[in-house]
Structure 1
């Protein structure tokens, strides 16, 4: 027989397990919890122990019972006490996972108009057309149809063209970038990065031992060409990681391309937002730089949604090391889903979708701009985004942005402090806000909460 201490430990362990289970529940859904018998079998404890843990949760208002149906739960959002230490990115991710949060830190443009339904419909068509296994052998770089569709989309002329063999598809963008870093042998090398830069890319470069050289944008949001030339002249730069629009007007983009060519620099183009410019796309950087020193990466997720998380890379001159790394990584990707995505390209559905998504993004950006002016006024400065799903804001007063971040977490709102987008301590007075947000709080209330957090976070 169990002693009193053992019984106490059992119900306490069950209680903690149930708290974690409840906290994973969406706040606007009534979720049925496991029955007493099923939970007792799962956790290898007595039914009476489970019943006692449930009774504690019921007294706390965390669960409720329905006659002849069972126990149900809704999560009770909790606030995280402020702590100046710890990893800021880990705290941000923890905040986004908490139930009931309004997440304004994410960059998820497809949230406005996902293509999930169309993708699933095309998958059913593919299955009917190919009732047997689609591939008799392993294709580590992705199926030919999708690779060919991407190559065709990026081809611009007889000299600036891509072929299916130049395209490599991985499970997600992070996995593709990890392979690229390994294939290029970038450990210890100098990589010039347009800044601010996505924190996932920065963390990958740091973890790989890359020497990150930041080229910060100026107050108008454009890449500083004088600073760029200075860095190329004074630093040993093996690779320049720049966005497809390079945060530059077209004429200055041409000048940047000439600078990179003069210093013999390879270019890695970040095309994640290349299709999400609100106005008709301008000339991308890849169409200006030397194609023999060009690599391009992107992901389907930004325009299709989370059902298409695959990342991809285009490279004309690294076939041997890239193929080797993709074989070693051995991505197992659904050939049915890849074919469905390829058909979105081939039948014109993706072009229609992108056009509609751009219009929605522009409309939401305009709405967010109105809310920012009404509720934050002169507390922040910013410029209207030209693409994507986020605003880049700078506090006009000196503030402790970490304290602002934590204050917002306590109010069930997640923002992205600007320092996450730099490895050298830049942007401590900045934050990124999404205008394709999720959560249950009204946007007006969120903006008022942010204004209050900025006031309280001021450094005297």
Structure 2
């Protein structure tokens, strides 16, 4: 990351955590230059960019000051709910002004394209940018292998309903898994099978048996930061899945929706080990906002033509404006800078959550997963704890919102009493109190 971008992130972080208050005078250009070992021009550029984003303002002959921000304070005082259930990104971390600039630039740059239909594959200039962008995630593809969908959900709908080579029809998915896909399979009457996934992974022998004997056309998996468990596969497990897919001719549909929150530089997607058998899906909903509706699909050659046909008949093309804005956002370096800021915020919250779970969970029959990155984890309770009653009591007495994961199971699978804990909508300084209240209520249930 550029030095000026690092400096911007540091100033923004200190404003957000209250170290720098609204209206407070910021250090002089000379002071920051000496403190961070950079040139004065670097500091000037950082302050100029922050001023464009209305994070700071300048007063002639005086210096720079922090803009007073009321949103976070208002949210905490007016809405004392602790929502551990929401998967939505924190709106306070969204770069509204940055993205507004990209939208305006997109309208100006691509104004002629907005009055014509685009291509079902996607905006060509975005595809070119994505080739380099995806390489940073160890996903190497040519522009012809990449398709833009209206969110990952549309991509899953197309992949589930379109024919695959070999004529197989059954979709295999982890249990639990993404509830929208389960509902989609049921709606279309698509055969589905499941394989149990726990915090320790999956049974690879069982996976091989299903690949060998089942009518499996694709295996849908979320290898890292699993939804809803929050856990990730070990690298050896991802390699084993790739090897089995190649051996038995099964396609893997890899949903890497939280790839941007990866902190382990040695962690690669399954696609890196078997690109000819893996359909790679990437979302921008959690790093920007769900309403962007841009999903990226990297396809093996054998699936490209059929996917393109189904995509074209589905919606002709995905939003050209959203694609153009995303292209500018990535190409300008704004995406990488904002990603680092979001990653830092979520990393601190997740650390607080792990610490609170370790401190509060003193019962043998309640297990919690200690995840290394991402935005959520889970706790598994004994079967005698009635989850709806627990959730109701926590909301009425403590204003804490929790949800179970029953919708993430196929009807044929036993539903485990699991509670997902997400940190995207909970302020860092309230996480510990929230977890303590949750376990206090669990202990009351157990004592009865």
Query: What is the TM-score normalised by the length of structure 1?
Result: 0.68
Q: For this pair of structures, how many residues does the alignment match?
A: 359
Tell me, yes or no, if the aligned pair for 1:232 and 1:263 is still in contact at 8 Å: yes
Tell me, yes or no, if the aligned pair for 2:223 and 2:238 is still in contact at 8 Å: no
Equivalences for residues 179-328 of structure 1 within 5 A = 179-184=158-163, 189-218=169-198, 220-245=199-224, 247-280=232-265, 282-289=267-274, 291-315=275-299, 316-328=301-313
How far off its partner does 1:188 sit? Answer: 8.6
2:392 equivalent in structure 1: 406
2:29 equivalent in structure 1: none
Q: Distance in 2 between matches of 1:345 and 1:196?
A: 33
Tell me, yes or no, if the aligned pair for 2:90 and 2:425 is still in contact at 8 Å: no
Tell me, yes or no, if the aligned pair for 1:189 and 1:211 is still in contact at 8 Å: yes
Tell me, yes or no, if the aligned pair for 1:243 and 1:270 is still in contact at 8 Å: yes
1:126 matches 2:106: yes
How far off its partner does 1:375 sit? Answer: 4.0
Tell me, yes or no, if the aligned pair for 1:399 and 1:459 is still in contact at 8 Å: no
1:395 equivalent in structure 2: 381
1:345 equivalent in structure 2: 330
1:416 matches 2:403: yes
How far off its partner does 1:443 sit? Answer: 4.2
How far off its partner does 1:282 sit? Answer: 1.0
Q: Distance in 1 between matches of 2:317 and 2:192?
A: 31
Q: Distance in 1 between matches of 2:91 and 2:121?
A: 27
1:431 matches 2:411: no
Give the 3 Å change call, closer, same or farther, for CA 131–171 of structure 1 in structure 2.
closer
Larger radius of gyration: 1
Tell me, yes or no, if the aligned pair for 1:393 and 1:430 is still in contact at 8 Å: yes
Q: Distance in 2 between matches of 1:191 and 1:403?
A: 34
5+ residue gaps, structure 1? 1-98
How far off its partner does 1:123 sit? Answer: 1.7
Residue by residue over 1:57-116, the C-alpha shift from the partner in whole angstroms, topping out at 9 and shown as x without a partner, is xxxxxxxxxxxxxxxxxxxxxxxxxxxxxxxxxxxxxxxxxx975432222345563233
Q: Distance in 2 between matches of 1:180 and 1:198?
A: 15
Q: Distance in 2 between matches of 1:261 and 1:234?
A: 15
Give the 3 Å change call, closer, same or farther, for CA 188–403 of structure 1 in structure 2.
farther
1:371 matches 2:350: no
Q: Distance in 2 between matches of 1:115 and 1:442?
A: 23
How far off its partner does 1:285 sit? Answer: 0.6
Q: Distance in 2 between matches of 1:421 and 1:432?
A: 11
5+ residue gaps, structure 2? 1-78, 227-231
Q: Distance in 1 between matches of 2:203 and 2:129?
A: 35
Give the 3 Å change call, closer, same or farther, for CA 375–112 of structure 1 in structure 2.
farther
How far off its partner does 1:148 sit? Answer: 2.5
2:125 equivalent in structure 1: 145
CA RMSD of aligned residues (A): 3.4
Query: What is the TM-score normalised by the length of structure 2?
Result: 0.70
Among 114, 118, 141, which residue is 2:94 paired with? 114
Give the 3 Å change call, closer, same or farther, for CA 111–193 of structure 1 in structure 2.
farther
How far off its partner does 1:455 sit? Answer: 4.1
Residue by residue over 1:230-273, the C-alpha shift from the partner in whole angstroms, topping out at 9 and shown as x without a partner, is 33234332211122448332233222221222111111111112
Q: Distance in 2 between matches of 1:226 and 1:284?
A: 21
Give the 3 Å change call, closer, same or farther, for CA 404–307 of structure 1 in structure 2.
same
Equivalences for residues 437-452 of structure 1 within 5 A = 437-438=425-426, 442-443=430-431, 446-452=434-440
Tell me, yes or no, if the aligned pair for 1:384 and 1:391 is still in contact at 8 Å: yes
Tell me, yes or no, if the aligned pair for 1:188 and 1:209 is still in contact at 8 Å: no
Q: Distance in 2 between matches of 1:228 and 1:342?
A: 38
Moved more, 323-332 or 173-182: 323-332
